[in-house]
Amino acid sequence: MSKDRVRQCVDAQQVLDGFEDWLLRERSVPESTARAYADRMVGFTSWLPAPV
């Protein structure tokens, strides 16, 4: 990470909600698809180690 970059702690749910909104708005995917993608990301993010 660059020394100039400021680290931000972002709530994972906030990011997932934004991802789902982006899929709906920008990619025009069906709501069921956006929800399925977001649900899969929940499983992935729960696997990641907690930020330090």
Residue 37, both tokens: 């993608």
- The tens digit of pLDDT for each residue in 7-31 reads 555 677 888 899 999 999 999 999 9
Helical H segments across the chain, by residue range: 12-25, 31-47
Query: Tens digit of pLDDT for each residue in 29-49?
Result: 999 999 999 999 888 877 878
Question: Smallest Cα–Cα separation from 16: which of 36, 4, 7, 2?
Answer: 36
| pTM score | 0.68
